[in-house]
Structure 1
């Protein structure tokens, strides 16, 4: 009988932070990585070692031991040290598609400096697998994946299968059946070794579809097992049925492919928690950090990179290395423990610091480039200008709120045609003495305008016809009175072209959709309940109290102007102070909540802001509920590069759970992730919730017609035992308290509601959400501001026109994911995807510069002459995209 080949793969799953800090991880990496290099060089029979597929570990190690770069390069080129393809071990569910793509791109790019990276999508510990990963892998020339979590024997009975993604892309998938650590503790005593191998290899062979078994030798932060060759020699002597050899992941997968070419096929995302924990509510753990991630991802890809590309097209340098550093900070936080926030408080302080660094770099980088453009626009030396930037490839007409500096005298704001634009001053503070002492007059001979009084102000400005992927400059006309003012109204309703919203006596909202004449009642209800879980899982308390904002409203304020109507509701919810109070039915803590609802004259998205001034309760969850009155078997949410339909009840899994819940690691629940929106629709109408905060939702209600958006949940420990939703041992470390995760501070949440009265595809929800999450930017310039406050600038030669558009989409229903400069060329990259439910995505890109060539590229931006797209002077014709397809276009 032919022996089964046991591919023993030495590795270390290296968490860069967890219950320990990044600093501790880096220090110990110095010792462990050096040991790996020494052993591989000393022992030729120790053939391979897999470095957890994270190129960031190379950077961490070489920062303090640069003399070992040659040693690493030599071992990589001899295929002894296996590296890549990732930069960090990323999450796949709440991290954006662009973040995942850049993680792979920069990971492979860094590995290429040493040798050939591993071409396997290796993710041993991510908490579930996104349905779009097969397409993303294929976009980098990767045709196989190896992971642990998300698949059970109720889905497939072999460890190897074909994984089909949402768009139809396929990869060979290998599911590690017992985790990445089951071969990490090999006994050395002969009798112990024989018994151990008989048990574990027997279990693996039952699941294997070929005569090959994957046997990972390693675990979290594991040192190299120096005597592994000797142990395997002994194993081959005492086991006549199997052949043991030190191998690597690619060798194992090649052996499987050589032996078999037909496998069972599974489709979609993998979130099954029967055999391993998925932590399917980790999407809202430490919502303060999650919101920082989500806002930053949106800012980098929707605002920063497009406007840097605009600046580049005008002749300024594209700052590749700064962008790379920003993304690397994001990648460090995208690692599954870090983005999951299932860390110690100390480690999460490092996560916060990296977000802060990424945010500060991004904001200041964009500030510089907006200034480079704004100060070089031909404007007859106007005293004060506002340059309006639009990173979205469609014309914008909307109200923009921004912080700025204004003179004490009257003024109006005019566009290039001399039209007066409406604005209101929402807040202002006199800072004259501070501002005017900051001014630096580099050329004292130049006469400049210096106002007598300067205010720092928050302004809402109604802008119109803002060019797509472009800018326009506005000017202040001084000593002319603004006629637009805010008025306080005694009525309890606001309205615009699309909606009339009324505050009910019980504190809920009544929303009249004018287009359909349908009234939606009892909307935007705040709900509080207990959270008996930990940093990994929400779990309901065994005894709980639900408290809602109904009948808790204390005041309603309505502010109206001709560009904006706002309703401000203040609630005072009395809730339990702790889980102990919940268990005895006691409520003792006031939770003040302020909800602001904003309508703009021609905006179909209702804007919401929820502020919790000072959370003082422990271990609880707060959600906001919208009853769509659409009973639904499925929800539609966006995932990376497309949409995904999920059942509102997990009937099959729940039946299996109820029949044998002791064999399940977690209860099947419908708390789900999203990227930017979730919607319920019936083919005639729909309601979409667009999140600018936490990316977690659940469909609830007796009729499964209510969208519950999680705002936050709080907990006191990294891990806890015996939860209702997760029985058994604690995840992580149960002794580590996480008081910071109780979120005893001010909390702020932004989201939008979009009601449509047609089919999902006709409403183009994906594009609507993209616009909502692509805020217009405004840069103010005046000579009196040129100084220490902003950093002094020399006068620039004015060479740019008052208005410019780089590109726009034409007759298109695709969604733009990224606009950036090509990484290794001088072209412009535009990445688009099909966010439709049923229709193909079509259209064209109009470029306001001559186009020489355009190519359809891989996700790694590789293309050749066979991938040319049709170009008509300044128009690039886009290939039709089927469901959930993504396309990368390089324009030369």
Structure 2
């Protein structure tokens, strides 16, 4: 006889085709009903509140008077909450976002008296191979997941899931989803007929006689009659014994069965039984880019700056920072960040991210102003603060915008030594927009607006250095730009022919990459969930559509700018007829700095056409059947051609397992002789084309007009979501993309990884003009002209420097980007150093090396 563990729950989408305002209204009555049922019948429960504490936050925003009632049911274990703040998508959002999700979710649970010790992920569109690591860092030993699993990964629905760093969690799959036993009849005889096919499917892959039966669905009311009905059904049949249970009780029973669990290592992207919607990695790319920019601004700039200023005696606005993270994570649910929503909801998602970025940038501006105010000047001129978030002394190039009435100026350090710079863009600026005092003037004050590339050196680790802008003084070096028709430095040469076809040569290995950075436009007959090529697609590349090319060589870097007017179809109807009745205006600027072994690429696209996808190609010519991409806190190996492509149609999978993959910001393919790597800003999707297995195609944008559609080549059958028009998802208008391209001459060695980290950027500049939109009183503190909180001699990549969540201490974190263990090292500082988990608790073991795909965190108390 099989033991069926009834787990009652709700799955709460905050937004989807409906808004968060809709869901809050429904939540008010849902919770009122749930309280009433649990209080009337003490035998009911526990009830799983979808594993996300934001549901509590939303509910109390509309029913604050019910907090005591809710708190009592949580303390009694009748309602179980957490461990997450929101049900995030784990393949699109960043590592620090996932960490904060658990950190803030746990904090909420502690306030309400209990945490569900289960990594419950019921509806993420695929599962990250890193989930076991994240859970173990928060002392969570179990996971319950849905989408992405099939027997092609692991034969049973219960197994030990192991991350690359060795972390393991006991995992149970809901093979048919969290809603497989929804809306059960009250009558035992009727319910038995309903349950027979459900339980046959639930037990098909079960390793033991213990089976999960999740009872609940999207925003669905508590089915409070089901437990009593199942108890009546128990004596009426001999195949199953139904028990009121929880996920924790199920895992206890699984362990008591004393079976050896199979071990699986890797991600879950298999759409055999459930769609994982691979198109969400590039849907609404404007939202993806905005989210990536906010994540990076918070963890790589704002939090490190606040940490440094806190050590100098300025306040750390912890609650304000937490609120920015919380608002961002409200946009991280699978539908929200996936962009598979109604247009109204996508607008709300975007607004939250924009609001967070506004708040973060204002905090940066105010803290830079306070920092500059306290520094005693060592030279004449306006102070320029060069801030280095990373825990190693840094040098390199960074961007700085200045406004000046002078034709001449120079930048010097504290000793008066001149720094080199290059103007990359210049224009005029109406200063009444910048300076509040000028806004009421009757005359317009015009200044030069110069976007500079500034060369700096010896910037202290986790700290800053002060430079000075001296206006009216001629710079003491040659700045004259000259025209060029190729890019070249000590490492690379990039040549272009009259058609605009680019060839990159790696001078270190003499390997060439022809037709690199080619643009390809194809149709997209899909929806917000899935890219789908038309049944008969017409691919158009950029060759032959070049309208202009220009090149300049400056003091610090050289640039080539190419412009195309690519004749393309206006929509799917025109593409079917192979009628190029529209134009894509695209400009690409490729820069090569004298000191860098990589290309920086900026692409602008005026998207005026519909139902299409635009990609940029990196032809590696590498002899390899695998490639690598980054994932949260690590690297993952993937097949160029998934083996499941050979069977998906015969086995009637829900979706084609095409080589359309997510990344955080990096993808690379290489062999012993050659290879290419792309490091992107906010581009989360790439593809290995089935007919060109040595090419990496990075998706720039895709335009579709429907939330859901039926019967697509890559996703046959019913529509996903709702069949609703979403014209805003055509994302018309101007779009801007950035990526860096690295040629790989020695594979993924230490020098390569250092260049990847440098290509991502690690320095920030701020000019103390004396102008400010908002006035503040002087703080009266004095700061040194240069300062470092700590330094850390490590090959790990930087993740964050911030104040600890619950104590007066600092947290610094790095992670191993490579496929090999790296030396951990120990930060050098005056404080007490404690190796810690992501949860900011003491780490029991203190190894000398950091495994692949693992973070290394230190808590430092001063």
Both structures adopt the same fold (TM-score exceeding 0.5): yes
Instruction: Using the TM superposition, give the Cα deviation of residue 228 of structure 1 relative to its aligned residue in structure 2, in angstroms.
Output: 2.5
The answer on whether the counterparts of 1:92 and 1:126 sit within 8 Å (CA) in structure 2 is yes
Pick the aligned partner of 1:773 from 721, 742, 760. 760
**1:872 corresponds to which residue?**
none
The answer on whether the counterparts of 2:511 and 2:674 sit within 8 Å (CA) in structure 1 is no
Mapped to 2, the partners of 1:679 and 1:63 lie a distance apart of 46
Superposition map of 1:349-748 within 5 A? 349-379=347-377, 382-425=380-423, 426-432=425-431, 438=437, 454-482=447-475, 489-612=482-605, 614-651=606-643, 653-658=644-649, 660-661=650-651, 663-700=652-689, 704-734=693-723, 736-748=724-736
The answer on whether the counterparts of 1:635 and 1:699 sit within 8 Å (CA) in structure 2 is no
The structure-2 alpha-carbon separation of the partners of 1:503 and 1:58, relative to structure 1 and needing over 3 Å to count, comes to same
**1:875 corresponds to which residue?**
none
The structure-2 alpha-carbon separation of the partners of 1:433 and 1:111, relative to structure 1 and needing over 3 Å to count, comes to closer
Verify: 1:858 aligned to 2:837, yes or no: yes
Mapped to 1, the partners of 2:384 and 2:660 lie a distance apart of 44
Specify the SS of the correspondent of 1:760: coil
Q: Which moved more, 1:423-432 or 1:853-862?
A: 423-432
Mapped to 1, the partners of 2:495 and 2:767 lie a distance apart of 37
Mapped to 2, the partners of 1:353 and 1:491 lie a distance apart of 43
Verify: 1:749 aligned to 2:737, yes or no: yes
Q: Which moved more, 1:379-388 or 1:42-51?
A: 379-388
The answer on whether the counterparts of 2:665 and 2:683 sit within 8 Å (CA) in structure 1 is no
Specify the SS of the correspondent of 1:515: coil
Mapped to 1, the partners of 2:825 and 2:378 lie a distance apart of 37
Mapped to 1, the partners of 2:452 and 2:15 lie a distance apart of 42
**1:842 corresponds to which residue?**
823
Specify the SS of the correspondent of 1:818: strand
Q: How many residues align?
A: 856
The answer on whether the counterparts of 2:74 and 2:114 sit within 8 Å (CA) in structure 1 is yes
Instruction: Using the TM superposition, give the Cα deviation of residue 797 of structure 1 relative to its aligned residue in structure 2, in angstroms.
Output: 4.0
**2:776 corresponds to which residue?**
793
**2:747 corresponds to which residue?**
759
The structure-2 alpha-carbon separation of the partners of 1:762 and 1:434, relative to structure 1 and needing over 3 Å to count, comes to closer
The answer on whether the counterparts of 2:744 and 2:752 sit within 8 Å (CA) in structure 1 is no
The answer on whether the counterparts of 1:204 and 1:213 sit within 8 Å (CA) in structure 2 is yes
Q: Which moved more, 1:541-550 or 1:511-520?
A: 511-520
Instruction: Using the TM superposition, give the Cα deviation of residue 227 of structure 1 relative to its aligned residue in structure 2, in angstroms.
Output: 2.3
Verify: 1:827 aligned to 2:809, yes or no: yes
**1:802 corresponds to which residue?**
785
The answer on whether the counterparts of 2:126 and 2:269 sit within 8 Å (CA) in structure 1 is yes
The structure-2 alpha-carbon separation of the partners of 1:208 and 1:559, relative to structure 1 and needing over 3 Å to count, comes to same
Instruction: Using the TM superposition, give the Cα deviation of residue 357 of structure 1 relative to its aligned residue in structure 2, in angstroms.
Output: 1.0
Verify: 1:889 aligned to 2:861, yes or no: no
Verify: 1:814 aligned to 2:796, yes or no: yes
The answer on whether the counterparts of 1:722 and 1:729 sit within 8 Å (CA) in structure 2 is yes
Instruction: Using the TM superposition, give the Cα deviation of residue 279 of structure 1 relative to its aligned residue in structure 2, in angstroms.
Output: 1.0
Mapped to 1, the partners of 2:757 and 2:100 lie a distance apart of 19
Specify the SS of the correspondent of 1:844: coil
Superposition map of 1:37-436 within 5 A? 37-379=35-377, 382-425=380-423, 426-432=425-431
The structure-2 alpha-carbon separation of the partners of 1:65 and 1:796, relative to structure 1 and needing over 3 Å to count, comes to closer
Instruction: Using the TM superposition, give the Cα deviation of residue 202 of structure 1 relative to its aligned residue in structure 2, in angstroms.
Output: 3.2
Mapped to 1, the partners of 2:686 and 2:497 lie a distance apart of 25
The answer on whether the counterparts of 1:672 and 1:698 sit within 8 Å (CA) in structure 2 is yes
Mapped to 2, the partners of 1:325 and 1:190 lie a distance apart of 48
Note the alpha carbon deviations across 1:57-100, whole angstroms, 9 max, x for none: 10111122112111111111111001110100011112111111
Instruction: Using the TM superposition, give the Cα deviation of residue 635 of structure 1 relative to its aligned residue in structure 2, in angstroms.
Output: 0.5
The answer on whether the counterparts of 2:142 and 2:170 sit within 8 Å (CA) in structure 1 is yes
Q: Which runs of 5+ in 1 are unaligned?
A: 441-450, 870-877
Specify the SS of the correspondent of 2:396: strand
Mapped to 1, the partners of 2:800 and 2:330 lie a distance apart of 21
**1:443 corresponds to which residue?**
none
The structure-2 alpha-carbon separation of the partners of 1:830 and 1:645, relative to structure 1 and needing over 3 Å to count, comes to same
Note the alpha carbon deviations across 1:846-866, whole angstroms, 9 max, x for none: 43x413x222222211127x6
Mapped to 2, the partners of 1:557 and 1:628 lie a distance apart of 26
The answer on whether the counterparts of 1:832 and 1:886 sit within 8 Å (CA) in structure 2 is yes
Specify the SS of the correspondent of 2:590: strand
TM-score, normalized by length of structure 2? Answer: 0.96
The structure-2 alpha-carbon separation of the partners of 1:541 and 1:71, relative to structure 1 and needing over 3 Å to count, comes to same
TM-score, normalized by length of structure 1? Answer: 0.93
The structure-2 alpha-carbon separation of the partners of 1:545 and 1:623, relative to structure 1 and needing over 3 Å to count, comes to same
The structure-2 alpha-carbon separation of the partners of 1:882 and 1:829, relative to structure 1 and needing over 3 Å to count, comes to same
Note the alpha carbon deviations across 1:460-489, whole angstroms, 9 max, x for none: 222222222211111122321235676564
Q: Which moved more, 1:206-215 or 1:110-119?
A: 206-215
Mapped to 1, the partners of 2:645 and 2:409 lie a distance apart of 64
The answer on whether the counterparts of 2:379 and 2:414 sit within 8 Å (CA) in structure 1 is no
Note the alpha carbon deviations across 1:605-628, whole angstroms, 9 max, x for none: 21101001x311111000001112
Q: Which moved more, 1:396-405 or 1:321-330?
A: 396-405
Specify the SS of the correspondent of 1:746: strand
Mapped to 2, the partners of 1:583 and 1:453 lie a distance apart of 52
The answer on whether the counterparts of 2:527 and 2:705 sit within 8 Å (CA) in structure 1 is yes
